[in-house]
Amino acid sequence: MYDVIIIGGGAAGLFASANLPTRNALLIEHTSEVGKKVLITGGGMCNITNTLSVEAFLSHFGGKEQRNFLLPALQNLPPSALFSWFEQRGCPLVVREDGKVFPKSLDAHQIRDLLVRESRAAIMLDTKVEEISKPDETSFLVRTSRGVFETRNLLLATGGMSYPRTGSDGSGYQLAKMLGHGIVPPKSGLAAIAVEDYPYRHLAGNSLRSVQVEFFRKGESKRYAQAVGDVLFTHDGLSGPVILTASRSILKGDRITASLLSCTNKTALEKEMHALLLAQPKKQVSTLLKEAGLFSALAQTLISSLSLKVETKAGDLSKQNRIQLVRLITDHPFTVSSVKGFQSAMVTAGGVNLAEVDRKRMESTLQKGLFFSGEMLDYDGESGGFNLQAACSTALLAVHHLSL
């Protein structure tokens, strides 16, 4: 009999395994490789956490219930402690100016490989869990494609449904149901959007830094959300932290307006752009826009969209052209044609009902010895290292309360 079996080889399962107080343990992963999703986080650079305090950190999760639930886990392993955990094990980290923390190598493989090296559980790959039962008060039977295993403690860390190609296919929810747990219906979170009549396919991969974005329902003039942050052009729409964070609220048909230059006040930016174009009539518009901060391809695309020649000088702009151009730069409209689904969503909203899990232990309130960690729980954080930190914090709290 094992002391503990961990089901799921993602961030939560691996971090739990790396911190086990016993080696009489087994980690079961149903794909051919552990940590696949870790390898693609942060654009392959692995944004592992954020430097915020616990209180500020929790404000980046989706509601009071989620924040209350995660508080004990974050107090037990705050961002500063996770930072130290990796550095003490030979993985130096670097902090960006926005507080996001990455491995100094900017290579997610370093994080994944360290977790695998530190694993205290034997790792069994390509193994599908078919059934879980609890024959008595002190053990679980885990029937798999490779046999039946018995354990005193069971930790479910199977992830959600986002990026199913990495192994997060939602199969863990069925395992939780077998043991009596309810599942809040999953939906995609931290998802990109597709845009109607999108003219910027050729700009995919380029980003706008610290721009102001406002969100409106179809036909409404009062915004329902506003944010300042980074926006990424994709092949069919928009992504980046501002869009991803808002995606849980975005609906098809919504109108999104964004400044294309860094700003916190669109009105002030509008005045600056008019003044810039009027003050230097002999300079090409494209040159002025690049000097203002627009990258060259975007500046040229904006000029062409108004049926103007790329070499047009500022003094040759009609008043109407100037107003249209400034409006595009300061309040560019985009209409949402769809919010991307699980195939490209970064996290899953929904999952194991938090009311059925002891937040101080990560243990089921229905089955003694059953623990949960990571994204399969019904919480979802914003982009910026919040979800990986929560995965590690919930995993460690579970490990600390195993019955051995």
pLDDT tens, the chain, 404 aa long = 999 999 999 999 999 999 999 999 999 999 999 999 899 888 899 999 999 999 999 999 978 999 999 999 999 999 999 999 999 999 999 999 889 999 999 999 999 999 999 999 999 999 999 999 999 989 999 999 999 999 999 999 998 766 566 655 778 899 999 999 999 988 877 889 999 999 999 999 999 999 999 999 999 999 999 999 999 999 999 998 899 888 888 999 999 999 999 998 999 999 999 999 999 999 999 999 999 999 999 999 999 999 999 899 999 999 999 999 999 999 999 999 999 877 766 778 889 999 999 999 999 999 999 999 999 999 999 888 999 999 999 999 999 999 98
Check: CB of residue 322 under 8 Å from CB of residue 277. Answer: yes
Instruction: Look at domain 193-339 and name its CATH class.
Output: mainly alpha
- The CATH classification number of 2-188+348-400 equals 3.50.50.60
> Which sequence spans correspond to the domains of the chain?
2-188+348-400, 193-339
Q: How many CB atoms lie within 10 A of CB 9?
A: 32
Angle between helices 386-400 and 64-76 (to 10 degrees): 60
Q: Which amino acid is at 378?
A: D
Check: CB of residue 213 under 8 Å from CB of residue 257. Answer: yes
Q: What is the pTM of this model?
A: 0.80
Question: In angstroms, rounded to a whole number, what is the distance separating the alpha carbons of residues 7 and 21?
Answer: 17
Length of the chain: 404
The values of phi and psi at residue 364, to 5°, are -60, 140
Question: In angstroms, rounded to a whole number, what is the distance separating the alpha carbons of residues 173 and 192?
Answer: 24
Q: Give SS3 for 271.
A: helix
Question: In angstroms, rounded to a whole number, what is the distance separating the alpha carbons of residues 386 and 379?
Answer: 11
